[in-house]
Amino acid sequence: MSFNSIDFLLFFPFVLLVYWFLPRRTQNLFLLGASYFFLCYIHLWFGALIFLVTAVNYGCSIAITRWPEKKKSFLVLALLICLGVLAYFKYASFFLENIIALLNNFGIPFSQPVLAIMLPVGISFYTFQAIAYTIDVYRGDTQPCYDMIDFALFISFFPQLVAGPIERSRVLMPQIRSSRHVSPEQFQQGLLLLIWGLFKKLVIADNTGLIAFKVFSLTDPSFFLLWSGVFAFGIQILADFWSYTDMARGSALLLGFKLSRNFDHPYFARSPADFWRRWHMTLSYWLRDYIYIPLGGSHVDSSFRRGANIMITFLLSGLWHGASWNFILWGAYHGVLVLLNRVGEKLFSPIRILLPNQLHFPLLMFKILGTFILINIGWLLFRETEIQSLWHYFQLTPWSATAQDNQIARYLFSLTFLYSLPVFLHGLLYFWDKNRRGSRNNYAKDLLLLRPILAACLLLGVLILRSPESATFIYFQF
């Protein structure tokens, strides 16, 4: 079930209406049933798979505290089952294809068996959430949950089930265990997040997605035409994923839950490292806490080890996104960017201190624009799954295009920029809003009056500007 579907429009108000008439304990049981219905609405066996992950981590986390002398064995068991499930459903076909190709290259004939494995929706998100919980129990950072209903709801809470954010137990579990209420301000904020998310999906993401699809459908696009499509995809994937997060947060707020932010205006990032502090933040923190730091992080002796830790983390980030070589290349590309950024910071930090104040703002704009360009180069690696096509695209030159192609490219750039304006204006408004928040006593009152106006404008925009075709959320495939 998708947030932008008629089915959800019928499902969520019904859940909301029944939910608020129930006591807390019954609320959790009802939400658990609604979450399983939300997932099983797509395929019934999806529910059996998430129940397996839930049962394994519930049992192993309790066993870790009851038999501490064997806690490592229980952690390994939970990791093997969770990662095994994820590897089978997400990576089995990929590894089998590459092994067969390798055998054929060495002259060993081997035909590929028919292996059609359907990727369960949300599996990358809820397995990572479950793994983080069990590791936290193992480390002693959190106490295990003995209530099976509460724990099952923690793993399957439907607003963030399919595409995150990936919540930690210390954030979501206390809210599940406590009584909940919604203030008028939270209710308005939740509705506005839902409507803003719907606008970003139906107006920005779906319209720019059509532009990207048309460009990448061309047999041999010229240089500027190709990069107009990459720019469109960069806006599409931001608006598409961010819209899901906002709609998840909005839905959760109306149910009395506060989910973590997953985006902090990543296209205003000043460096590749800053981009990853702003993009898919809950995944970035997960990779930092459960991959990068356990590897030694930056607290190892040799610079080679520090660089290797960064590259391993980003390679796994790329592989998490999909079972394809282009995602691995995308992860490696970002790892190299972060390494080069660290070297550049060390080399140029003394020079930056000596710069006059008048040059600080132009330098900031240059860093933001440069980071944006580098991120979009990465989006080409992300979007194009065929390695041969990628090699061809990076060989294109600006002067090989015809005047007609360049004119079409300028039109597509301009059209994408117009669709992207609300996202960038929202970023500017956000920074202005942060500065204004503490400067006026009647800020909250003004905000309560402003939100209904914004919601009405966004709904009008959806009715007038929505794309004729609506695609599924991009991160549903991860």
* pLDDT tens per residue, range 61-77: 999 999 999 999 999 99
Six-digit token pair at 311?
A: 């590259």
Q: Answer for the pair 35, 153: CB distance below 8 angstroms, yes or no.
A: yes
Kindly tell me the number of DSSP H helices and DSSP E strands found in the chain. 18, 0
Banded pLDDT at 112 (limits 50, 70, 90): low
- Using the predicted structure, report yes or no on whether residue 133 has a pLDDT greater than 90: yes
Most confident option among 84-88, 204-208, 402-406, 442-446: 204-208
Domain ranges (residues) in the chain: 6-180, 185-477
**DSSP state letter for 142:** S
pLDDT of residue 455: 82
Q: Which of 50, 54, 257 is nearest to 148 (CA)?
A: 54
Count of CA atoms in the C-beta half-sphere (13 A) of 38 = 27
Residues annotated as part of the active site = 321
Residue 114 CB coordination number (10 Å): 4
**DSSP state letter for 203:** I
Tens digits of residue pLDDT in 280-304: 999 999 999 999 999 988 888 888 8
CA 361, 417, 393, 476 torsion-angle sign = positive
Q: How far apart are CA 1 and CA 418, in angstroms?
A: 30
Amino acid letter for position 224: F
pLDDT of residue 94: 73
What is the three-class DSSP state of 146?
coil
Q: How far is CA 289 from the centre of its chain?
A: 17
What is the three-class DSSP state of 162?
coil
Q: How far apart are CA 66 and CA 309, in angstroms?
A: 34
Q: Which of 40, 38, 36 is nearest to 12 (CA)?
A: 38
pLDDT of residue 25: 82
CA 439, 445, 447, 450 torsion-angle sign = negative
